[in-house]
Chain A
Amino acid sequence: MRGQDIPMPNQTALLPNTVRFRTLLQRSETTRGFALLSPTLLIMTVGILIPIGILVAMSFWTQVGFDFDTTLTTKNYQLAMDRPIYGALLRRSLWMSGMATIATVILSYPMAYFVAFHIHRNKMMWIVLITLPFWTSYLLRVFAWKVVLGYQGVINSALMALGLIDAPLEFLLYSQSAVVITLAHAWAAFAILPMYVSLEKIDKSLLEAATDLGDGPVARFLRITLPLSLPGVISACLLIFIPTTGDYITPTLLGGPDGAMIGNLIQKQFGAVNNWPMGATLSIILILSIGAISLSFMAFANFVRKRIS
């Protein structure tokens, strides 16, 4: 091996390609790293980058019967702007996701706080316990809420059996609140993780120092714990808001006509309506609005963080 490092032009030229490739691999750490990462990058490129590219392209096409007219046109976007139902559905989706996000974060924060500061043994056990439902079928969890909230479901039948109500409460199922409740429940585990991590990171001596300098529990929480856990709260917000805006299972099973979301509309374009380019356009609009809202939210959060500190 040593001999190969000494410049010997003839010999290097004679080296077979495989050997040269191998020395290249060993020389450059970056090359080796990328080589290891390449299968993942390849599948993510094929599975995400290229499809999204085609999605963007298709959003400028037109459906003609069962085929597409591939002439580029912004007609779909104009149509989407013009038809008030599209905008209304989009706004409603963002609104419902926003509600679900706020509810989830507010309800999950105390739990994350509890595990981070008040569980001293078997912390991992608690984290596993909290996140366990998240890993199991989303469809089944939504189905479970249908069973709970249904017209003749758990709540209604239990209340009637107890004689508290005479007829089923209709607002439980097929309403926006049903969708928001289900979304909040389904994503709670996801929200807890980032908040737990940023609370857990807080050096306990900072809390002792704040107390030592005269802060009671409430002042200490507002001046130290909350500002320092804001990054986790922000991630939690984004981690819930972004995926829930595109959800269509929950609104289909629980939303009824009032609870439909943009996801239902997109899904219909690829199903019953059979207008794929319109579906692509709506997907792009969804991505862009999520992106715009997330970015302005992050900017706002940053601003608040600077103000607090």
Chain B
Amino acid sequence: MSGHSYIKRPNRPLQIYAALFLVVLYVPVLFLPLFSFNTSIYVKFPLTGFTFQWYIELMDREPVWAALMNSLRVGVTTSLISTGFGIFAAKAITRYRLPGKGPLVGFIMLPLVVPGIIFGVALLILISRMGIPLSLYTVTIGHVIVCLPFAIATMIPRFEGFDPSIEEASADLGENAWWTFWRITFPMVFPGILASLLLTFTVSFDEFIMAFFLSGTDPTLPMYIWSQLRFPKEFPSILALASIILVVSFAMVFLGQWINRDAQATDSKSE
């Protein structure tokens, strides 16, 4: 007789399905690093041999480094701005009774759902009508709009996760709003802030559509990859570059989710 209750007893077909699902989810992406170590310039089986050649070639390419620096600059700026604004927005959404809060939150979360191309072209039109030249700054504006909903959605569970009476207790003990924020609120939501910084950086670093419409002469890393996709002989080095980006992105997102895991756990429990 099993130790599981009737409802929870294990379901073998479902377990197999879940395992298959994960395999299919990850395997296509894992072909990129696999072929990036292959000696052939053709991306096909059978594998011909192991090499670091494509990674070494990557190091010598000036445009890759330039694009990397551009992406880093945009990513760091975007994550700081969207997380900074996101803290206040998340606090306002969770802590205050605001008239029309539902529609407002829906409006703020729009970029999560509306096709990127719409916002991309709309912003492009606005910026060109205002006579502002396309540059990394315009890309950053686009990325902040894409990343803000992620930042807010990451931090809302943090704010929901702790009892507002803790803040009230601090006020009751004589701290003003400013110091209450720094001594109580900030430390309690800190994991959420860290997670938001990591996640928004990754989203910006990997973002393509806004960059496609809004970047000027300085390409970001995804833009650079896009421009090289036309040349089949560049495939192996693009695979190498893509593999590096994937590994870094996976690591950062995983770290961010991990730091913030208890907020999401309590969130799902309270429902």
In the assembled complex, the CB of B140 is this many whole angstroms from the nearest CB of chain A, namely: 11
* Interface of A (DSSP majority class): helix
Name the A residues within 8 Å of B107 (CB-CB): 44, 48
Is B144 among interface residues, defined by CB-CB distance under 8 A? Answer: yes
Chain B residues within an 8 Å CB radius of A51 = 119, 122-123, 125-126
* B42 contacts A144, C-beta separation under 8 Å: no
Given contacts A44-B145, A54-B122, A114-B15, whether A140 and B245 have CB atoms under 8 Å apart is: yes
Return chain A residues, CB-CB under 8 Å to B26: 133
Q: Taking the complex as formed, is B166 at the interface, i.e. its CB lies under 8 A from any CB of chain A? A: no
Closest to A220 in B: B7
In Å, the complex CA distance between A53 and B206 comes to 28
The interface size bin for chain A is 35 or more
A180 to B115, CA, bound (A): 16
- Give every chain A residue within 8 A of B76 (Cβ-Cβ): none
Task: Contact check, A33 vs B96: say whether CB atoms are below 8 A apart.
Answer: yes
Which residues of chain B from 244 to 260 have any CB-CB distance to chain A below 8 Å in the complex? 245-246, 249-250, 253-254, 257-258
Rounded to whole Å, the gap between the CB of A301 and the closest CB of chain B is 17
Q: Which of A116-164 contact B (CB under 8 A)?
A: 117-118, 120, 123-124, 127-133, 135-141, 143-145, 147-148, 150, 152-154, 156-158, 160-161
Segment at the A interface, from B50-58, B59-67, B186-194, B261-269: B261-269
User: CB-CB contacts of A11-50 with B at 8 A, as 1s and 0s?
Assistant: 0000000000000000001101111110111011001101
Our pick among B7, B14, B114, B254 for the contact of A113 (Cβ within 8 Å) is: B14
Q: Are A43 and B117 in contact (CB under 8 A)?
A: no
Q: Is the CB of B10 within 8 A of A144?
A: no
B86, B112, B118, B258, most chain A CB atoms within 10 A: B118
Given the known interface contacts A111-B18, A185-B24, the answer about A43 and B206 at a Cβ–Cβ threshold of 8 Å is no
Question: Which residue of chain B is the closest to A196 with respect to CB atoms?
Answer: B268
- B68 contacts chain A at the CB level, 8 A cutoff: no
* Contact A140/B32 with A48-B145, A147-B43 known, Cβ cut-off 8 Å: yes
B22 x A129 contact (CB < 8 A): yes
Does any Cβ of B come within 8 Å of A279's Cβ?
yes
Contact indicator A43/B111 (Cβ below 8 Å): no
Q: How far is the CA of A283 from the CA of B144 in the complex (A)?
A: 22
A48 close to B85 (CB less than 8 A): no
| Residues of chain A within 8 A of B123, CB atoms compared | 47, 51
A contact residues around B96 at 8 Å (CB)? 29-30, 32-33, 36
Q: Are B43 and A152 in contact (CB under 8 A)?
A: yes
Q: Is the CB of B206 within 8 A of A37?
A: no
With contacts A137-B206, A138-B208, A185-B24 known, is A152 near B42, CB below 8 A?
A: yes
Instruction: Verify B113–A243 contact, CB threshold 8 A.
Output: yes
Q: Which of A249-263 contact B (CB under 8 A)?
A: 249, 253, 263
Question: Chain B residues near A41 (CB, 8 Å)?
Answer: 104, 108
| Interface residue SS majority, chain B | helix
A169 in the interface, Cβ–Cβ < 8 Å? no
Q: Shortest Cβ distance from B108 into chain A, in angstroms?
A: 6
Contact B148 A43 (CB under 8 A): yes
Assess the A128–B117 pair: CB atoms within 8 A. no
The segment from A2-10, A77-85, A170-178, A197-205 that touches chain B is A197-205
A96 in contact (CB, < 8 A): no
Q: Chain A residues with Cβ under 8 A from B111's Cβ?
A: 48
User: Which of B15, B29, B99, B104: most chain A Cβ within 10 A?
Assistant: B29
B242 in the interface (beta carbon within 8 A): yes
In the complex, are the beta carbons of B14 and A118 less than 8 A apart? yes
B239 contact set on A, CB distance < 8 A: 147
Question: Cβ of A52 and Cβ of B25 under 8 Å apart?
Answer: no
Q: Does A103 contact B (CB under 8 A)?
A: no
Is A297's beta carbon under 8 Å from chain B? no
Q: Shortest Cβ distance from A180 into chain B, in angstroms? A: 15
Residue ID in chain A nearest B144 by CB atoms: A43
Q: Find out whether the CB atom of A40 lies under 8 angstroms from the CB atom of B88.
A: yes
Q: Mark B88-129, 1 if CB is under 8 A from A, else 0.
A: 110111011111000010011011111111110111111001
Residue among B26, B92, B108 facing the most chain A CB atoms (10 A cut-off): B92
Does the CB pair B148–A40 fall under 8 Å? yes
Instruction: Knowing A44-B145, A144-B32 are in contact, say whether A152-B44 is a contact too (CB < 8 A).
Output: yes
Q: Which 4 A-B pairs have the closest CB atoms?
A: A246-B115, A33-B96, A51-B122, A137-B206
Q: Which residues of B contact A (CB under 8 A)?
A: 6-8, 10-11, 14-15, 17-18, 21-22, 24-26, 28-29, 31-32, 35, 42-46, 84-86, 88-89, 91-93, 95-99, 104, 107-108, 110-119, 121-126, 129, 141-142, 144-145, 148, 152, 199, 202-203, 205-206, 208-209, 212-213, 222, 225-226, 229, 238-239, 242, 245-246, 249-250, 253-254, 257-258, 261, 264-265, 268, 271
Q: Would you give 13 A-B contacts (Cβ < 8 Å), ordered by A? A: A55-B122, A111-B17, A114-B14, A117-B7, A123-B268, A133-B26, A133-B29, A135-B202, A135-B249, A188-B25, A243-B115, A247-B117, A287-B114
**Contact residues of A with B, CB < 8 Å?**
29-30, 32-37, 39-41, 43-44, 47-48, 50-52, 54-55, 58, 107-108, 110-111, 113-115, 117-118, 120, 123-124, 127-133, 135-141, 143-145, 147-148, 150, 152-154, 156-158, 160-161, 185, 188-189, 197, 200-201, 204, 207-208, 211, 238-239, 242-249, 253, 263, 266-267, 270, 276, 279-280, 283, 286-287, 290
